[in-house]
Chain A
Amino acid sequence: MQLIQRLLYVAEQDSCRVFGKPGTTMLAVLVSIVSLGIVAQQCQAIVIYTGWERHALVGSDIRLSCSFFSWRWTSEDVTFSWTYRPDGSRDSISIFHYTGGEAYLDNKGPFKDRLEFVGNPGRRDGSILIKNLDFNDNGTFTCDAKNPPDIVGRPSSVRLLVFEKVPIQAGVITGAIIGVVLGLLVLVVVIYYLMRFLVARRVFSLNVSKHGKKKKEGSQQRQGPAPPADPSKVKAAASEKKKQESRKDKK
């Protein structure tokens, strides 16, 4: 749902830009008309981006990123605020506020002395760093950014999950085992066919060379040195193999 809403916002902003330019194409006009029909909001709306979910280990630090997109220039009165709602609770408390060029951190609540502002408001980044995580920090963090006069927007939330040890994602081992076994199967089949092909080619080339040598000796009519024993031995072995294979198949 959030993805659809984000797409609609983007479509709306496209329409905003398109109207600003003269000589727009038919498609752009159609898109803008449709998007304005679906979402009756102002052309200017601020879009806030945070993650969807964050996983972290107990005792580690985590950086919650928050950035926004706005059609206006970044004003000097830009504000960021973070609120926290613990898992299973309905109340949220405010833990961070940046306004007028100053960052105000939580000094009474659960994140006292654990917060740090690591964002860059000039670059539209309002990220915070939480140190020394605990199991009580599980919950939803909501970032709200305002860029006057662009103040209409929806805050975005990121869920924090704190683990004792990072679990393996569902499906990784499953996929790995299936992939390895199927890969082995394909490898065995390929090797089998390769061996058959190589043996057949070797037999074919030996046949050709033997016929060639016989022709040479016959035309020159002299007793040359006997052909080396190896190729004939290999050829005999290969033909025996073939006979054995056909015997097996007949069984």
Chain B
Amino acid sequence: MLILLLGIILLHIAALVLLFVSTIVSAWTTGKGSTSDLWVNCTTSCVPASAGEWIQAVQALMILSIIFSCLALFLFFCQLFTLQKGGRFFLTGAFQILASLFVMSGAIIYTVMSPQWVPETDTFGYSYILAWVAFPLVLISGLIYVILRKRE
């Protein structure tokens, strides 16, 4: 029982850490000597990212996913102590699934729109891959919360 609980919490925290790293570190697109991400474009010097509408939308969606995932963790601990026996963690699961939807939308928008602001020779960097990896983890975590029943 305790192992299950720890496993679920670890999964949630791992997904949260992936989200944080993906949003903050500057490596959504890498090329020869240049990295660019949601916030700055760096070659030899760093310049703030072009203030296009779509990149701002991706920024907002990633931040929202982090906020919702943190809220889900907080709600999980609240519900752990206040839910009746046999109850389901609907609220936590709902927030987690919403967070995964936001990550998915952000990654999709970035994929579709990146030819517009990135030269052809650049490839996607590891922050972008982390975002795509975080999405199924968060989704699975949310589904587990929805299915899980509270015991003891």
CB <8 Å contact, A249 and B87: yes
Binds B, one of A87-95, A153-161, A167-175, A211-219: A167-175
Give complex CA distance A175, B67 in Å: 13
| Known contacts A178-B63, A178-B64, A181-B64; A170 and B84 CB within 8 A of each other | no
CB <8 Å contact, B87 and A168: no
| Known contacts A170-B48, A173-B57; A249 and B64 CB within 8 A of each other | no
Nearest chain A CB to B95's CB is how many angstroms away?
9
Contact of A168 among B48, B53, B67 (CB under 8 A): B53
Give complex CA distance A167, B117 in Å: 15
Nearest chain A CB to B21's CB is how many angstroms away?
19
CB <8 Å contact, A170 and B51: yes
- Residues of B43-58 at the interface with A, using a CB-CB cut-off of 8 Å, are 48-49, 51-53, 56-57
In the complex, per-residue mask of B40-84: 1 if CB is within 8 Å of any chain A CB, else 0: 000000001101110011011101100100000000000000011
Contact of A177 among B60, B84, B88 (CB under 8 A): B60
CB <8 Å contact, B87 and A250: yes
| Known contacts A249-B84, A250-B86, A250-B87; A177 and B61 CB within 8 A of each other | yes
* Range of interface residues on B (Cβ < 8 Å): 10 to 19
User: Considering only CB atoms, which chain B residue lies closest to A175 in the complex?
Assistant: B60
User: Considering only CB atoms, which chain A residue lies closest to B87 in the complex?
Assistant: A249
A251 proximal to B (CB < 8 A): yes
A182 proximal to B (CB < 8 A): yes
Contact of B56 among A172, A181, A182, A250 (CB under 8 A): A172
Of B59, B61, B86, most buried by chain A (CB within 10 Å of CB) is B59
Q: At the interface, is chain A mostly helix, strand, loop or mixed?
A: helix
Nearest chain B CB to A175's CB is how many angstroms away?
8
Nearest chain A CB to B15's CB is how many angstroms away?
19
CB <8 Å contact, B59 and A251: no
In the complex, per-residue mask of A175-194: 1 if CB is within 8 Å of any chain B CB, else 0: 11110011000000000000
Interface size on A, residues (CB 8 A): 17
Of B51, B61, B67, most buried by chain A (CB within 10 Å of CB) is B51
Nearest chain A CB to B105's CB is how many angstroms away?
11
CB <8 Å contact, A170 and B56: yes
CB <8 Å contact, B63 and A174: yes
Give complex CA distance A249, B85 in Å: 9
| Known contacts A168-B51, A181-B64; A173 and B56 CB within 8 A of each other | yes
- Residues of A4-56 at the interface with B, using a CB-CB cut-off of 8 Å, are none
Contact of B53 among A173, A181, A249 (CB under 8 A): A173
Give complex CA distance A178, B106 in Å: 13
Q: Can you give 14 A-B contacts (C-beta < 8 A)?
A: A167-B51, A170-B48, A170-B49, A171-B56, A172-B56, A173-B57, A173-B60, A174-B59, A175-B60, A176-B60, A178-B63, A182-B64, A250-B84, A251-B87
B contacts, CB < 8 Å to A: 48-49, 51-53, 56-57, 59-61, 63-64, 67, 83-84, 86-88
List 17 extra interface pairs beyond A173-B56, A174-B57, A182-B67, CB under 8 A: A168-B53, A170-B51, A170-B56, A173-B53, A173-B57, A174-B60, A174-B63, A175-B60, A177-B57, A177-B60, A177-B64, A178-B60, A178-B63, A178-B64, A178-B67, A249-B83, A249-B87
